[in-house]
Structure 1
């Protein structure tokens, strides 16, 4: 067996062959490659080690410690892109944007869209600035507090991949996430819905009539998130994708 593959497999890397190929391609310098391999064997997510993540066909910059875009979030991004108006000026907000994965899909789907991306983590928003078009507005702050006030009532789409893991469940998450991603990017409070409550309380005032709020959630939490949207004055529906194991709640402002 290839020595690098054996080392990765011994560290518990399920896709050791694929990872070995990516690590070899990352650098021609043997010493530098060894440092990358040691980081990976030490449990750091491969994406953070490589400095990039693939998301829906896009290559996104990723820094150590940030939330790594998940495959399931493709459903959120695709549904948000599908709700962007086909004509006229379009404005969208990627809330809890992380490295800007959802916003990057929106920019690809609708060139010229006026994009705002917001997150509490300054390292993540620094990545988002590198991943998004130069005219995108990337802001650092707590939910809507960082969004320009001039956009109140003007947003066509708000897409939010807010933390929704219940606090006690974080201890059961894989070590890659638990130890190498910001806790604030994972922790959704006692029932996982703390951020969903805050977002749904404010979202209607930021949406234009007919605009939509989309929140990624779990199957178990979807009904509760939908109820929060209804309480916030939106008309909700739940969508699920079995292939992606993904669930999104979509609420429309009448």
Structure 2
């Protein structure tokens, strides 16, 4: 599927991986719809890329009414939805048994809710509209790309909630791809490693260098633009379906 004249929903599109994805889609002739809670950053993306190319409505991906609302607005503005890229997520580490006792259950529930249930919520509501698209010459009606993490496979101490949520995203990729196959909608997942997003802004240069040293090659943090590049490669490659792709410089995370 070519990006030109395609419309993509991007959760978490106001910063980091999502912002890079929105930028690449628009630069390749597509339109983007940002689902995000960060109003200031998201409006800045719209201003930079143009309101004719990007739509933003403050949206909580877990809220059914809010997601349905922006889907309706996207169709009103752009006429269709061809691509979904789920980048929204949270990941505050917390040990199961910490210094103050057992982990707060609300922390675990919130992480699962945003990262896994939020991803599923957007998939189900967007796919319902994508089913009505006219197939292209290859029979494609749409492409869905989710974001997991290497933590789904190499979870570190303190990442029980995060790893569980991302493992769930990996786990539902193949069954949804199989279900949507007859409709010509492909479903894939990207599992990034250490990508330099705003989550790393609070780290010192020394801490960043220590993380970079763990990556075999190239020995640096990944760039959001590299994630966005993989998104477009998945969209354009019609035979790539039901797969989870690690984007991590060959890193395998240590226990802590």
**Bigger share in strand:** 1
TM-score, length-scaled by structure 1: 0.46
Larger Rg: 1
Higher relative CO (CA 8 A, sep ≥ 6), structure 1 or 2? 2
Structure 2-normalised TM-score? 0.46
